[in-house]
Homo-oligomer: A and B are copies of this chain.
């Protein structure tokens, strides 16, 4: 049995811990600096809980850091003088190079490429797990672990993961922001956002197995300058702060547009 210590009980830690348990890979110990959080998740996972660095188990086979990006370095520092020299430590961040853990001889990354929210259940079997490790046998271990919890795994090095993260910002953060602007536009006129929901769901569904550009529709790709101008006028008239964004996105879709 692989003894796993999970550092962090936030969104990623919670969903990952649940999935590991589901797949017969129970977490041994959960750490969170917030005691109640550690206890709540540990109870659910039938694991030990702690909020003290001094209580971290020293002989686990794997330490998974599921903490926010800017806490990884600090947490690594805390662990460094407490764990044996051959402790295997990974983080779960898409944005952070593995080198932040380089003081551990055995280090790596176990990055589930998905957005997690506390309330929403996640179908982990479809979440791509991107793994890498400093040592080949550790990478094989991570890949095997990934295979046990997901149908999609990939060996992805630091450079590739950084690039995937740029892409993820576009398809997740920026697309969500487009949804928000649509929400605001409808909201201002007391039009229900519900009216736009089926369109949003279909927008995502439509690109499965497709190149998005091949299913691009709308005034920009059609070169329909008249509609675009009407929309820009409306955004100006309502003092919408996203007018310039509308223009730039349209020109980005269709560089030949003169708007």
Contacts and interface: CB of A to CB of B under 8 A. Distances in A.
A113 interface: yes
B186 A167 contact: yes
Interface residues of A, number: 88
A70 B206 CA distance: 25
A185 interface: yes
A115 interface: yes
B180 A167 contact: no
B235 A245 contact: no
B211 A201 contact: no
A169 B219 contact: yes
B218 A173 contact: yes
Given A169-B218, A230-B162, A253-B173, A115 B199 contact: yes
Contact of A249 (B152, B174, B216, B234): B174
A160 B117 contact: no
A231 interface: yes
B185 A166 contact: yes
Contact of A167 (B176, B196, B224, B249): B196
A74 interface: no
Interface of A: 69-70, 95, 113-115, 117, 120, 122, 126-128, 130, 152, 154, 156, 159-160, 162-183, 185-186, 188-189, 191-208, 211-213, 215-221, 224, 227, 230-231, 234-235, 241-242, 244-246, 248-249, 252-253, 255
